[in-house]
């Protein structure tokens, strides 16, 4: 009878050989995907109210679920648009805080138009702009992480370690950043919306009964209340097709939610062994990474599916962004991130080959000996440490040809070394170790043969 067994290794302190300079580099690698994802995906809010949002209101915009939703909603709005202008671009990218709370609906394009202090020159992103640079960085990070993750599943030789260190815990988040490409042409931060007082200081009120702001007719009086977004609402016919009546929109939403579901499936593959009779081993870090992304992606894909089916994509802000449960979910998600960084930092150790993993080396090497050893691995998860011989030449270690799967792993080549023969001739000797069940610790030395 087949059985599935999970082996989670005990939490241990493995980072004693990492110095301060290395920690700066490691934490930079760790936080870079997270920072790029948040900074690129969550613009500052546009305040159209005399009250400011609380910190817990702002926090929800940095939730990866909210960021990915925003990418999908902007792309979907552009697909449904019958007429797209630079004002549509500005309002679709803005996050409006009004007297009623957050609002990213299509009606805000007309409502917020009188309060637009600065707008883009075109209806698409400028190639040479900060937004384009953010998209480029996000894309390069995502492609590098995607190659590493997919390559590890296909058995390619990539710098991926299943028992990952703190430097790799946000790699999957970098892959999700690729979803930004769907809205890449219509993402911009070249706009500004402000309060009535700010608008009046820049553009003094005129004694007219009405005016047209970017082609939208709006009544004007000499009072500040005339500029309140919900006391003066411009009239403008809808220039967007209904989500459930636009075939291209339906196809896009279906494909988008399937992509997020595919990311979720990759996490399930990571947490599940290839065979049900196989045991699977995790460090605390690698197991928490899998649980974290499974938790985040499952909630995201369920929310997207529900709102996509109901056609609630007319807002660039996820509809539940002001809900209490969503705020709690966001706080839990960021709390898990902090816990993950702390635990991964404790467990991360340096391998002899310079990589980092959340596992203690079976060969007990001292910190000053790491530069004299190198690790090699077969296509399985079995590793061996071999010394580096003199003159900077490493001793290779690999399975014998025809050894087959790890279950039939009976021997390996321990070293190729050159020595000086009796007549000062170079000798190439190969040392074979058979029936190896552990690690061979020692020093290989080149010496004259007698």
Asked if pLDDT for residue 341 goes beyond 70, the answer is yes
Asked if pLDDT for residue 450 goes beyond 60, the answer is no
Q: Classify 391 as helix, strand or coil.
A: helix
- The arithmetic mean of pLDDT across residues 394-415, rounded, is 38
Residue 112's nearest CA partner among 209, 17, 196 is: 196
Ramachandran class of 239: left when φ > 0, alpha when ψ lies in -120 to 50, beta otherwise: alpha
| pLDDT computed for residue 91 by the predictor | 94
Residues with Cβ within 8 Å of 146's Cβ and at least 6 positions away in sequence, in order, are 175, 178
Going by the DSSP 8-state scheme, the letter that residue 350 receives in this structure is: E
| pLDDT computed for residue 164 by the predictor | 83
Residue 367 CB burial class (10 angstroms; 0-12, 13-18, ≥19): exposed
Give the global pTM.
0.76
| pLDDT computed for residue 210 by the predictor | 45
More confident residue, 183 or 13: 183
Residue 161 banded pLDDT, cuts 50, 70, 90: low
Most confident of 243-257, 262-276, 349-363, 374-388: 243-257
State the average pLDDT for the chain.
76
| pLDDT computed for residue 134 by the predictor | 93
Residue whose tokens read 């070394």: 417
In angstroms, the CA 296 to CA 292 distance is: 6
| pLDDT computed for residue 147 by the predictor | 86
| pLDDT computed for residue 357 by the predictor | 81
Buried b (16+ CB within 10 A) or exposed e, 418-439: eeeeeeeeeeeeeeeeeebeee
Q: Could you read off the pLDDT of 37-46 as tens digits, one per residue?
A: 999 999 999 9
Residue whose tokens read 């998860």: 381
Residue 279 bridge partners (DSSP): 5
pLDDT above 90: percentage of residues in the chain: 45
| pLDDT computed for residue 185 by the predictor | 94
What number of other Cβ atoms are within 10 A of residue 403's Cβ? Answer: 14
- The arithmetic mean of pLDDT across residues 95-119, rounded, is 92
| pLDDT computed for residue 208 by the predictor | 37
What is the H or E stretch that residue 282 is in? Answer: strand 279-282
Asked if pLDDT for residue 229 goes beyond 80, the answer is no
Residue 362 banded pLDDT, cuts 50, 70, 90: low
Q: Classify 427 as helix, strand or coil.
A: strand
- The arithmetic mean of pLDDT across residues 292-300, rounded, is 96
Asked if pLDDT for residue 81 goes beyond 90, the answer is yes
Buried b (16+ CB within 10 A) or exposed e, 314-348: bbbbbbbbbeeebbebbeebeeebeebbebbbbbb
Residue 195 banded pLDDT, cuts 50, 70, 90: confident
Residue 369 banded pLDDT, cuts 50, 70, 90: low
Residue 350 banded pLDDT, cuts 50, 70, 90: confident
Asked if pLDDT for residue 19 goes beyond 70, the answer is yes
Residue 238 banded pLDDT, cuts 50, 70, 90: low
Q: What are the backbone dihedrals phi and psi of residue 101, each rounded to the nearest 5 degrees, phi first?
A: 105, -155
- The arithmetic mean of pLDDT across residues 162-173, rounded, is 87
> Of 108-112, 230-234, 325-329, where does mean pLDDT reach its minimum?
230-234
- The arithmetic mean of pLDDT across residues 10-14, rounded, is 82
- The arithmetic mean of pLDDT across residues 315-320, rounded, is 95
Residue 46 bridge partners (DSSP): 96
Most confident of 163-167, 316-320, 416-420, 437-441: 316-320
Residue 227 banded pLDDT, cuts 50, 70, 90: very low
Residue 382 banded pLDDT, cuts 50, 70, 90: very low
Residue 85's nearest CA partner among 209, 213, 207, 178 is: 213
| pLDDT computed for residue 359 by the predictor | 76
- Token pair of 385 as six digits: 């440490």
- The arithmetic mean of pLDDT across residues 337-341, rounded, is 96
More confident residue, 358 or 446: 358
- The arithmetic mean of pLDDT across residues 356-364, rounded, is 70
Residues with Cβ within 8 Å of 28's Cβ and at least 6 positions away in sequence, in order, are none
Asked if pLDDT for residue 63 goes beyond 80, the answer is yes
């Amino acid at each position: 009878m087949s059985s599935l067994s999970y082996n989670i290794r005990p939490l241990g302190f493995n980072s004693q050989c990492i110095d301060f300079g290395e920690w700066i580099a490691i934490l930079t690698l760790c936080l870079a995907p997270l920072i790029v994802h948040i900074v690129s995906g969550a613009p500052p809010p546009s305040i159209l109210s005399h009250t400011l949002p609380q910190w817990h209101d702002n926090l929800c915009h940095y939730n990866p679920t909210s960021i990915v939703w925003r990418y999908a909603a902007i792309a979907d709005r552009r697909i449904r648009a019958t007429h797209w202008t630079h004002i549509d671009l500005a309002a679709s990218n803005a996050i409006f805080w009004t007297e009623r709370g957050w609002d990213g609906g299509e009606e805000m394009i007309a409502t917020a138009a009188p309060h637009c202090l600065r707008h883009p020159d075109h209806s698409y992103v400028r190639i040479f702009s900060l937004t384009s640079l953010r998209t480029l960085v996000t894309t390069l990070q995502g492609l590098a992480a995607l190659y590493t993750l997919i390559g590890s599943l296909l058995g390619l030789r990539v710098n991926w370690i299943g028992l990952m260190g703190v430097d790799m815990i946000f790699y999957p988040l970098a892959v999700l950043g690729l979803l930004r490409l769907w809205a890449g042409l219509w993402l911009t931060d070249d706009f500004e919306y402000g309060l009535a007082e700010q608008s009046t200081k820049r553009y003094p009120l005129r004694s007219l009964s009405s005016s047209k702001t970017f082609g939208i007719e709006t009544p004007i009086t000499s009072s500040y209340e005339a500029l309140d977004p919900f006391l003066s609402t411009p009239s403008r016919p809808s220039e967007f097709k209904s989500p459930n009546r636009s075939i291209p929109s339906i196809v896009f939403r279906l494909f988008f939610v399937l992509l997020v579901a595919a990311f979720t499936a990759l996490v399930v593959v990571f947490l599940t062994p290839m065979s049900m009779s196989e045991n699977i081993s995790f460090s605390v870090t690698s197991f928490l990474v899998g649980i974290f992304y499974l938790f985040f992606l499952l909630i995201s894909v369920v929310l997207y599916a529900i709102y996509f089916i109901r056609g609630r994509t007319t807002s660039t802000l996820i509809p539940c962004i002001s809900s209490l449960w969503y705020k709690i979910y966001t706080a839990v998600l960021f709390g898990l991130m902090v816990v993950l960084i702390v635990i991964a930092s404790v467990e991360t150790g340096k391998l002899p080959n310079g990589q980092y993993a959340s596992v203690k080396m079976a060969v007990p090497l001292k910190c000053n000996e790491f530069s004299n050893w190198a690790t090699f691995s077969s296509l399985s998860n079995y590793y061996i440490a071999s010394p580096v011989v003199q003159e900077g030449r490493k001793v290779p270690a690999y399975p014998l040809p025809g050894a087959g799967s790890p279950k039939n792993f009976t021997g390996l080549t321990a070293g190729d070394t050159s020595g000086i023969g009796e007549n000062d001739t170079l000798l190439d000797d190969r040392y074979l170790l058979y029936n190896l069940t552990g690690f061979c610790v020692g020093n290989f030395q080149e010496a004259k043969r007698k």
